[in-house]
Amino acid sequence: MHDLDIGTQLQQQVLQAVETGGALRIVGGDSKAFYGGHCAAEAWLNTADHCGVIDYQPSEQVITARAGSRIADIAELLAGHRQMLGFEPPDYTGQATLGGTLACGFSGPRRPFAGSARDFMLGCKIINGRGQILNFGGRVMKNVAGFDVSRLMVGALGTTGVLLEASLRVLPVPETDLTLACACTEQQALSRMQQLSGQPWPLSGSAYDGEYLRIRLSGAETALTAVAKQLAGDADPAGDRFWHDLREQRIGFFQLPGTLWRISVAPATAPLDLVGRGLLDWGGALRWLNTDMPAAAIHAAAAAHGGHAICYRGEDKSDWLRLDSDLLGLQQNIRLAFDPLSVFNPGRLFS
């Protein structure tokens, strides 16, 4: 893996933007340009070269790396010690960087069972909108000193600052994985997912692709053999491939043209009354929908179940994310607390 510290150059660039009243578009591997609202800044702040692992000791189960480090490189390093990023972020054919992944807050199929990107976040170094380099959190498992700014950075799309470094907890790779698959309807899949999640099975994935419900089990081989005997479904020899492709958003569903929505609801929510093609992940708590229905209808359907919808990929991003007015006001104040001149990614999260 490359090892380069361009933190001061990045800081200089920010300071210059602050001075000249400019705005910056923070870019890592540029693998997720499709995500978020329209960013009004032209000038790039390129973090991809700011890369390398700063600290990694397998017995601490913590890795600290610069934001430009590729997720794929980190995964490879960890795998060498039988460890992994527990939230299974997509690496977008090697392009995704650590910084971009955290800024978008993307987590893969293991999320409901192991935790999300923010759950694994322990600490970070950032540049705020005043050009100051600041450290929050730390490199240890438990830390409640000060507000949890590190976790606030996850999913903030760079609008609270430029991530320079992050420390993440990592997990041991399970001894074995086993995938069971069975053909069923969406309704059947949902009730099965729900039933399983209330029981102590060693689950690490639970998804329905419109045809098959697949569940992934992780643990000691003896345990998985015993569990498999008690659960319905056939062992799926292509299971590992499926989970990998789901994580990378490469399975057929994600190749469909059109607008892709990501709807987050309570897992036991009945099938949503929306037209389009769907895919269920996270044991039913994450519902992907490919549809040309109007944004308003989708937001309304999600909100009716106490959840929310995000237009993940699509032409029209004018209504991609909704916040109620009290929350929007507060979030705008928080942004200004970090970036008073709105230097970073204006428009990317909210205008």
Question: By CB under 8 A, what part of segment 102-141 binds another protein?
Answer: 105, 111-112, 115-116, 118-119, 128, 132, 134-136, 138-141
Partnered with residue 207 across adjacent β-strands are 214
Report the nearest approach of another protein to the CB of residue 19 (Å): 18
- The CB-based long-range contact list for 268-272 (8 Å cut-off, 24+ gap) reads 268/190, 268/194, 269/305, 269/307, 270/187, 270/190, 271/186, 271/187, 271/190, 272/301, 272/302, 272/305
Q: What is the 3-state secondary structure (H, E, C) of 227-244?
A: HHHHCCCEECCCHHHHHH
Report the nearest approach of another protein to the CB of residue 91 (Å): 20
98 membership: H or E segment, kind and range: helix 98-104
CA dist., res. 40 & res. 73, Å (int): 31
Report the nearest approach of another protein to the CB of residue 231 (Å): 12
Q: Which of 15, 18, 72, 173 binds another protein (CB under 8 A)?
A: 173
User: Would you count residue 244 as binding another protein (CB under 8 A)?
Assistant: no
Give the tokens for residue 105. Answer: 């807050």
Q: Between 70 and 99, whose beta carbon lies closer to another protein?
A: 99
287 membership: H or E segment, kind and range: strand 286-290
User: Would you count residue 305 as binding another protein (CB under 8 A)?
Assistant: yes
CA 202-241-267 angle, 5° bins = 45
User: Would you count residue 296 as binding another protein (CB under 8 A)?
Assistant: no
Report the nearest approach of another protein to the CB of residue 257 (Å): 25
Q: Between 43 and 266, whose beta carbon lies closer to another protein?
A: 266
Closest CA to 313 of 345, 297, 293, 289: 289
Q: Which of 23, 265, 274, 298 binds another protein (CB under 8 A)?
A: 265
Q: Between 146 and 237, whose beta carbon lies closer to another protein?
A: 146
Contact between residue 292 and residue 316 where contact means Cβ atoms under 8 Å apart:
no
Find the part of the chain contacting another protein (CB under 8 A) among 29-37, 38-46, 248-256, 278-286: 278-286
Contact between residue 150 and residue 169 where contact means Cβ atoms under 8 Å apart:
no
Q: Considering only residues 21 through 80, tell me which ones interact with another protein, judged by CB under 8 A.
A: 57-62
User: Would you count residue 342 as binding another protein (CB under 8 A)?
Assistant: no
Q: Considering only residues 189 through 208, tell me which ones interact with another protein, judged by CB under 8 A.
A: 194, 197-202
Report the nearest approach of another protein to the CB of residue 126 (Å): 9
User: Would you count residue 145 as binding another protein (CB under 8 A)?
Assistant: yes
Q: Which of 183, 300, 336, 351 binds another protein (CB under 8 A)?
A: 336
Q: How many CB atoms lie within 10 A of CB 22?
A: 15
Give the tokens for residue 274. Answer: 């929306």
Q: Between 238 and 336, whose beta carbon lies closer to another protein?
A: 336
Report the nearest approach of another protein to the CB of residue 221 (Å): 8
CA dist., res. 288 & res. 286, Å (int): 7
Give the tokens for residue 53. Answer: 């692992």
Contact between residue 234 and residue 180 where contact means Cβ atoms under 8 Å apart:
yes
User: Would you count residue 323 as binding another protein (CB under 8 A)?
Assistant: yes
Q: Between 48 and 213, whose beta carbon lies closer to another protein?
A: 213
User: Would you count residue 147 as binding another protein (CB under 8 A)?
Assistant: yes
Q: Between 43 and 337, whose beta carbon lies closer to another protein?
A: 337
